[in-house]
């Protein structure tokens, strides 16, 4: 009897442990039981139908699509954003298909839905994950009010090449910052309960390494060794998945010859076996079929087999699954177990989103939430915190009481469509507050506002308008010239070899400077640009990315000092595109730049072959970027003093405690983004010259000093070594606390 009791107890404990483990890995027993029951009823065609994702932009019901849904051949839709139409398609799926499995509706909600926030690269510049989470929550509330319950965001591609147009959509060059921002967006989109009607499933993309496209050319090949993949490109995905991200999207690129959409190592060995991911994997747009032009698949049937076996659960718009998986299974070329696994992953997300219980959307809800005042204010605040002050000779902030006449000029001064930035399907330009509008509305009573476009659009080469702008400048006390990029010049497939301002924009700024009046240049763009000439011509330079709906209001408030800039660069700005790739956390070399090198204009004639020394730099442009990662000015200044660690020697399981004093040494209150960097001085492999490990926004009154206490687990210093183990190696480390990636003096500590 006792033996039986023991066996029973063991069984109970095992079952409890199994279910706990399952819950941890995102498996809910009740949902798994429902999936079991449903999959048992499904035909092979119905299973494959769930794996078929179709995009539809039409605003009226399409009978062929309706038939496909009715026959169980379509599992998800994207780009249907009319609530009544969503409900009609959903009704057909629920009431007219054999098993009544609901659709999931997706959309690219990348930086807002109707209320448009700054592009993600700008959001990263806030170094404020709480704000990013709030913004993502607003985007979810607005998008789900139309029936969208899945967004293809956050994009977590690390990019070190501003020629790549999609650098606009990510959080820049740093792994830690991208991880923190990605987690914040997942929290914002999915909320506390994905089944809440205002929650939408996040889709972390593009898995993986897409931002390393050779030459910064979109869709191009990447060559990322596994260790670099694990140390630089994958951590943001792990972080977002551990935060609960429900879906993953594969990337277009091949890495060392293997397209991600057919990369079993990525999609099964890492994503499933190492990370226990329980959501579903969707291909990117036709990326399954594109394995044929990749030269990786011989035809569509072969492509569908490769993708399925690699671990792609859902086919976005290549129709290969719905066209070929049935016959491949019938011929025994693929195992139906892969199809069952894929369907289970998809159904699991649909259950988690509560779509079986609440498939329909309130068709009036959107009227209550679009452009809600609190949404617009959050968007304005996001612009204020994302704008980066790159230079200022003291001209900013302007004093409205002493500025009688202000000229607003430049092709981006009143460009409501362009200001929204890339990936805007739902934002409306007529709701955009442009800088011209804002300056007139907010400051037009106190200041006479003149306006001359100068150029008609960012690529405009016609200098005719420049003369009129310069003439107007002569009548003004100060000039605000707003330049940059039309929104189409960044984003997917929109890469540039030359990062100088397009058209005659530089000429416009130089001509305005010749007026002798103070010139404040504001840049709205989707990527770092090469701005050395504009910096020289301007009294102040403010980089506002593409700021979205409320960009004008925020920029006007920053210019007149109602708001104080606090943004920091999430990506390095090169002197020229010839410096690319240029990023702060590069590896050490055997002959690092020393700073005493001879530059091209100082080289004597007939200089001897070895006379210049042998270090790593450019004769014509050195090694320093125009503006470094983490850099950004304020209208006040800050000093870092008394940086102390609690010990000098740490064990691998210790936590470093450090304190430092931060003082506002200026005359205005302001917010500093204090940053913590570490360098592993000697490793079993060469290590980056420094890596961001922590940051915090700290607001101080003039003259105020705050003693800040931070902790950093030694384990955060771990990296993947040659044995593919994530380890902290003993040895010496340098630590910096500063306001950017190039300032401060190192503090030494050691790990034993
Ligand atoms: C695109 C993009 C991807 C986007 C998808 C759906 O090609 O690569 O980021 O989410 O298609 O629009």
Query: Ligand 1 centroid to 157 CA: how many Å?
Result: 13
Catalytic member of 284, 315, 460, 740: 284
Locate the domains of the chain by residue range: 373-559, 638-751
What integer is the mean pLDDT of 609-619?
93
Closest-lying ligand 1 atom to the alpha carbon of residue 205: 9
Determine the atom of ligand 1 nearest the C-alpha atom of 79.
Answer: 12
DSSP string, 144-200: HTTT--EE---B------TTSGGGGGS--S-HHHHHHHHHHHHHHHH-S-TTSTT--
pLDDT digits (tens, 9 = 90+) for 508-542: 999 999 999 999 999 999 999 999 999 999 999 99
CATH 2.130.10.10 fits 638-751, yes or no: no
| Tens of pLDDT, residues 48-73 | 999 999 999 988 999 999 999 999 99
Ligand 1 atom closest to the Cα of residue 155 is: 9
Closest CA to 208 of 173, 178, 248: 248
Q: How many CB atoms lie within 10 A of CB 497?
A: 10
Q: Report the separation in Å between the CA atom of 151 and the middle of ligand 1, taken as the mean of its atom positions.
A: 10
Percent of the chain with pLDDT over 70: 97
**Best mutation site among 492, 493, 495 for ligand 1 pocket (most ligand atoms within 8 Å of CB):** 492
Which residue's alpha carbon is nearest to atom 11 within ligand 1? Answer: 285
Using one digit for the tens of pLDDT, what is the confidence trace for 358-414?
999 999 999 999 999 999 999 999 999 999 999 999 999 999 889 999 999 999 999
Please give the CATH superfamily to which domain 373-559 belongs.
Glycoside hydrolase family 3 C-terminal domain (3.40.50.1700)
With contact defined as beta carbons under 8 Å apart, do 403 and 465 qualify? no
- State the DSSP code for 418: G
Strands 76-78 and 52-55 come out as: parallel
Q: What is the pTM of this model?
A: 0.96
**423: CA distance to ligand 1 center in Å?**
9
> Does 284 participate in catalysis according to the annotation?
yes
Average pLDDT over residues 299-314: 98
- Pocket probe for ligand 1: among 79, 108, 317, the residue whose CB has the most ligand atoms within 8 Å is 108
Number of other residues whose CB lies within 10 A of the CB of residue 578: 11
- Residue ranges lining ligand 1, Cβ < 6 Å: 108, 152, 205, 284-285, 492
CB count in 10 Å sphere of residue 641: 11
Mind listing the pLDDT tens digit for each residue in 180-201? 999 999 999 999 999 999 999 9
Q: Which atom of ligand 1 is nearest to the CA of 252?
A: 8
The arithmetic mean of pLDDT across residues 426-440, rounded, is 98
Q: Model confidence at 8, in pLDDT bands (50, 70, 90)?
A: low
The residues, ordered by sequence, that sit 6+ positions from 465 with a Cβ below 8 Å of its Cβ are 452, 453, 454, 455, 456
Cα–Cα nearest to 149, from 198, 83, 115: 198
Contacts of 18 (CB under 8 A, 6+ apart): none
- Residue 542 CA to residue 14 CA, distance in Å, equals 60
Name which of 471, 401, 643, 432 is nearest 554 in CA terms: 432
Candidate from 152, 165, 250, 288 with most ligand 1 atoms within 8 A of CB, to mutate? 152
Amino acid 58: pLDDT = 84
Cα-atom radius of gyration of the chain, to the nearest Å?
27
Q: Are 431 and 114 in contact (CB under 8 A)?
A: yes
**Phi and psi (nearest 5°) for 739?**
-95, 5
What digits encode the pLDDT tens for the residues 249-299? 999 999 999 999 999 999 999 999 999 999 999 999 999 999 999 999 999
Report CA(106)–ligand 1 centroid distance (Å): 11
285 CA from centroid of ligand 1 (Å) = 6
The DSSP output letter for 573 is: B
Measured in Å, residue 673 CA sits from the centre of ligand 1 at: 32
Tokens coding 358: 């609440």
For residue 231, the 8-state DSSP code is: I
CA distance 338 to 261: 15
């Amino acid at each position: 009897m006792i033996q039986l009791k023991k066996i029973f107890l063991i069984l109970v404990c095992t079952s409890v442990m199994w279910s706990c483990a399952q819950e941890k890995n995102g498996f809910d027993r009740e949902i798994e039981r429902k999936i079991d029951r449903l999959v048992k009823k499904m035909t092979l065609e119905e299973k494959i139908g769930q794996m078929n994702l179709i995009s539809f932009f039409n605003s009226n019901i399409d009978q062929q699509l309706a038939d496909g849904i009715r026959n169980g051949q379509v599992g998800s839709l994207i780009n249907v954003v009319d609530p009544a139409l969503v409900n009609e398609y959903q009704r057909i799926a629920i009431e007219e298909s054999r098993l009544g499995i609901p659709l999931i509706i997706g959309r690219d909600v990348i930086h807002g839905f109707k209320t448009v926030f700054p592009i993600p690269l700008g959001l990263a510049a806030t170094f404020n994950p709480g704000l990013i989470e709030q913004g993502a929550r607003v985007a979810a509330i607005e998008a789900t009010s139309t029936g969208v319950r899945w967004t293809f965001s956050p994009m977590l591609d690390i990019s070190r090449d501003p020629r790549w147009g999609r650098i606009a959509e990510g959080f820049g060059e740093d792994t830690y910052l991208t991880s923190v921002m990605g987690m914040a967006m997942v929290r914002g989109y999915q909320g506390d309960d994905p089944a809440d009607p205002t929650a939408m499933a996040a889709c972390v993309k593009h898995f993986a390494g897409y931002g390393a496209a050779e030459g910064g050319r979109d869709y191009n090949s990447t060559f990322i060794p596994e260790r670099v993949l694990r140390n630089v490109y994958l951590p943001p995905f792990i972080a977002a998945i551990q935060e609960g991200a429900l879906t993953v999207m594969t990337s277009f690129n091949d890495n060392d010859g293997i397209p991600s959409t057919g990369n079993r190592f990525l999609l099964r060995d890492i994503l499933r076996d190492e990370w226990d991911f329980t959501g579903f994997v969707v291909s990117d747009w036709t990326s399954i079929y594109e394995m044929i032009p990749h030269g990786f698949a011989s035809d569509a049937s072969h492509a569908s087999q490769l993708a399925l076996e690699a671990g792609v659960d859902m086919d976005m718009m290549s129709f290969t699954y719905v066209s070929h998986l049935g016959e491949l299974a019938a011929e025994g070329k693929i195992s139906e177990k892969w199809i069952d696994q894929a369907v289970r992953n998809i159904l699991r997300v649909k259950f988690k989103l509560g779509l079986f219980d609440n498939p329909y959307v309130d068709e009036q809800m959107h009227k209550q939430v679009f452009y809600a005042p609190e949404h617009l204010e959050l968007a304005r605040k996001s612009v204020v915190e994302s704008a980066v002050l790159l230079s200022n000779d003291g001209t900013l902030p302007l004093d409205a009481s002493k500025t009688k006449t202000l000229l607003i000029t430049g092709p981006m001064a009143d460009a409501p469509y362009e200001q929204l930035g890339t990936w805007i399907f739902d934002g409306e330009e007529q709701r955009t507050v442009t800088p011209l509008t804002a300056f007139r509305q907010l400051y037009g009573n106190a200041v006479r506002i003149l306006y001359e476009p100068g150029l008609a659009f960012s690529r405009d080469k016609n200098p005719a308008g420049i003369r009129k702008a310069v003439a107007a400048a002569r009548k003004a006390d100060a000039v605000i010239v707003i330049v940059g990029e039309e929104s189409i010049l960044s984003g997917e497939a929109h890469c540039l070899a030359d990062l100088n301002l397009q058209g005659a924009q530089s000429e416009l700024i130089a001509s305005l400077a010749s007026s002798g009046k103070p010139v404040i240049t504001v840049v709205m763009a989707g990527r770092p640009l090469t701005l050395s000439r504009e910096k020289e011509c301007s009294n102040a330079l403010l980089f506002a990315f593409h700021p979205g709906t409320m960009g004008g209001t925020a920029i006007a408030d920053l210019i007149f000092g109602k708001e104080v800039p606090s943004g920091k660069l999430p990506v390095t700005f090169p002197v020229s595109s010839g410096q690319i790739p240029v990023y702060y956390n590069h590896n050490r070399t055997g002959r690092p730049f020393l700073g005493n090198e001879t530059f091209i204009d100082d080289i004597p004639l007939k200089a001897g072959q070895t006379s210049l020394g042998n270090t790593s730099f450019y004769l014509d442009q050195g090694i320093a970027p125009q503006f470094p990662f983490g850099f950004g000015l304020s209208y006040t200044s800050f000093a870092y003093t008394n940086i102390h660690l609690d010990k000098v020697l740490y064990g691998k399981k210790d936590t470093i405690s450090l304190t430092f004093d931060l003082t506002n040494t200026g005359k205005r209150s302001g917010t500093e983004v204090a940053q913590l960097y570490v360098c592993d001085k000697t490793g079993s492999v060469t290590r980056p010259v420094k890596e961001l490990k922590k940051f915090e926004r700290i607001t101080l009154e003039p003259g105020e000093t705050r003693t800040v206490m931070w902790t950093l687990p030694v384990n955060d210093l771990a990296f993947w070594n040659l044995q593919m183990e994530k380890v902290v190696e003993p040895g010496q480390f340098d630590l910096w606390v500063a306001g950017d990636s190039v300032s401060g003096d190192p503090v030494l500590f050691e790990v034993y």
